[in-house]
Structure 1
């Protein structure tokens, strides 16, 4: 087994960095910001493992730069659309991700966006910070009652989608769920109803997205789907930016075809389409769904644990593929 160094593309939390230091291998570590591509390619040369984040593209070029000693790419995220898993498999490189450890944090942020948007929290905050003169009135900042017959549509009913559904049920919301692997009718034991995507978009008062970004899910929510939603329905995306067609979303917001949107992720991240800033009924956060202290520790240490397992000749704990 190679004794090559471990490349950690960006500074992780203290707990994760400590765990990496205990592996007894040389560490090559990037900074706080995403690394320059040329630095990344050079730093990968001779690496036995790469611990990366979603901001780095781990493609055939980088895999070839690392060379034959590379055994594992540990992505510090659940989604792994930044990793060319097919190219890794061809080269016998295991790819892992960090599922499970961030379900609760992502579900919490989803509910925060849901409440912030539906009850116009951020809009009210901006109103007061602007120094606007005001007095309470019965028609002021009226929003959506989430606990009064409100239907939540969960698109992507995996671990995170189920965690969101549990929280929504605690708010007495009716919950619809859709995933390609699910039936299009019936219920699960918690009272969540299964349905197809067109029906979910038509019936839901709030739609929340929890699918990975794949060729099948890119622009899953586009013009047709947005037109199918209720005119006062709200859209929440804490999955990946490319799941929503930004052009179509902007057009729908301008036309009043939906009631608003809350986005934690963006198609051209970290760039945010400036047109989204025009709307009072849009809430924007900078990809912070997993940004709980304990959650980020668990993500980083799970990635390190995956590296340790593979370099010790064992199976990865949470593999996306199994290598060659």
Structure 2
């Protein structure tokens, strides 16, 4: 079995020599590239693609013997699943690897904003020494409503951390009716927007969620709220967010992802109340190793005909039946 690994051109996930051929009894070969050639694509039985590698119809058309594609991410917004299905290629992600790390990153961003650390750091660098040198109010965690938009593995991990610190937590998720741990209250998106002091996004990017956070949503938020996004940049209309910052509805935006990755607009980069991190929330040494191990394990299971829960197109017909053999 030939497995092709397409690494990100933006930031390499695979280290030099990491997938050098192993033991002789290994039943598969691995090849790593960041720019897949026609020859590499045509001989691959399975393809693993990392974040920012776009799997579109033109790329799929060059996959002549591929039986499975694994996107080494949680989301599949960069994948044309329909094109893969039409060619009988199974498509899978890798579930919730890095959920704890993303939750920790989001919690750090929330506390950074809540404790006015940006203001204090700037004040002391300028020679000041006053605890009053901040904008807006500083609330105790127990007086703060944290709203989670989406309540999957990452949001639940964040909720556990926030609950331990005393936050009052509400969430909106059309697929989740209640919090099993009873630490967060379920409600509508509209009610969450109106009551939350801090809003943190934890949704996948789909046709339904693209630009979900628009002028209409920002207009319903509490004035002076804190906005956090560690999910996908495309969920937020950047221009609407900038307008909300300008009007004072959003006091601070803390973003690990943006709509325009990897080149955020200057208006975000230079805004004094915006903090950007480079899509790093998933990362720890452990999570990166787990991500790669899970991607390879998922691929081997698919190529060996085993059941994989994370496959999103289980009803796609075989390659032979579609005439692509």
Structure 1 length as normaliser, TM-score? 0.88
Which whole-Å CA distance do the structure 2 matches of 1:87 and 1:140 have between them? 52
What displacement does 1:125 show? Answer: 3.5
Partner Cα separation in structure 2 for residue 74 and residue 111 of structure 1: 30
Which shifted more, 262-271 or 18-27? Answer: 18-27
Match of 2:190 in 1: 198
Q: Which deviations, in whole Å up to 9, do the C-alpha atoms of 1:108-129 show, x marking residues without a partner?
A: 111011111222324444555x
Which of 248, 252, 255 is matched with 1:256 structurally? 248
Matches of 1:269 and 1:79 in 2, distance apart?
15
Deviation at 1:41, TM superposition (A): 4.7
CA-CA distance at 1:78 after TM superposition: 0.3
The CA distance in 2 between the partners of 1:17 and 1:245, in whole Å, is: 38
Task: Indicate the SS of the match to 2:169.
Answer: strand
How many residue pairs match? The answer is 310
Match of 2:116 among 101, 108, 120: 120
CA pair 88-16 structure 1, distance change in 2 beyond 3 A: farther
User: Structure 1 residue 201: deviation in Å?
Assistant: 0.4
Structure 1 residues 29 and 122: alpha-carbon distance in aligned structure 2, compared to 1, 3 A threshold: farther
Alpha carbons of structure 1 residues 187 and 158: separation in structure 2 relative to 1, 3 Å: closer
Alignment of 1:1-324 (within 5 A): 3=1, 5-10=2-7, 12-13=13-14, 17-18=18-19, 21=22, 23-30=26-33, 35-36=34-35, 39-67=36-64, 69-128=65-124, 131-140=125-134, 144-183=138-177, 188-316=180-308, 318-322=310-314, 323-324=316-317
SS in 1 for 2:158: helix
Gaps of at least 5 residues in structure 1 are: none
Worse-superposed segment, 53-62 or 166-175: 53-62
Equivalent position of 2:320 in the other structure: none
Residue range with higher mean Cα deviation, 256-265 or 197-206: 256-265
Task: Please identify, of 308-317 and 296-305, the stretch whose mean Cα deviation from structure 2 is larger.
Answer: 308-317
Task: Give the superposition deviation at 1:70.
Answer: 0.3
Query: Which is further off, 289-298 or 15-24?
Result: 15-24
* Partner deviation per Cα, 1:143-165 (whole Å, 9 max, x = no partner): 53351310000100111111111
Between 1:312-321 and 1:199-208, the stretch displaced more is 312-321
* Unaligned residue ranges in structure 2 (runs of 5+): 318-325
Cα separation, 2, equivalents of 1:46 and 1:305: 20
Instruction: Give the whole-Å Cα distance in 1 for the aligned partners of 2:287 and 2:94.
Output: 10
* Partner SS for 2:295: helix
C-alpha separation in 2, matches of 1:317 and 1:286: 30
Of residues 201-210 and 21-30 in structure 1, the stretch that sits farther from structure 2 once superposed is 21-30
Do the aligned partners of residues 261 and 15 (structure 1) sit closer, same or farther apart at CA in structure 2, a change above 3 Å counting? same
Distance 1:212 1:21, change over 3 A: farther
Q: Distance in 2 between matches of 1:21 and 1:178?
A: 47
* CA apart distance, 1:53: 1.2
3-state SS of 1:276 partner: helix
Match of 2:322 in 1: none
Q: Is the 8 A contact 2:52 2:78 kept in 1?
A: yes
The 1-side partners of 2:153 and 2:291 are apart by: 15
Alpha-carbon separation, structure 2, partners of 1:58 and 1:18: 22
Q: Secondary structure at the match of 1:262?
A: strand
Q: Alignment partner of 1:165: what SS?
A: helix
